[in-house]
Amino acid sequence: MFGSRQQQKQIETLQARIRDLEGLVDELAARAGVSSAELRVLESGVGPRMPEECVRLVAEGRTIQAIKAYREHTGAGLKEAKEAIDRYRGA
pLDDT tens figures, 42-90: 777 666 678 999 999 999 999 999 999 999 998 999 999 999 999 888 8
- Looking at residue 11, its amino acid is I
Q: How many CB atoms are closer than 10 A to CB 64? A: 10
d(CA 86, CA 78): 12
pTM listed for this prediction: 0.50
pLDDT tens sequence across 11-24: 999 999 999 998 99
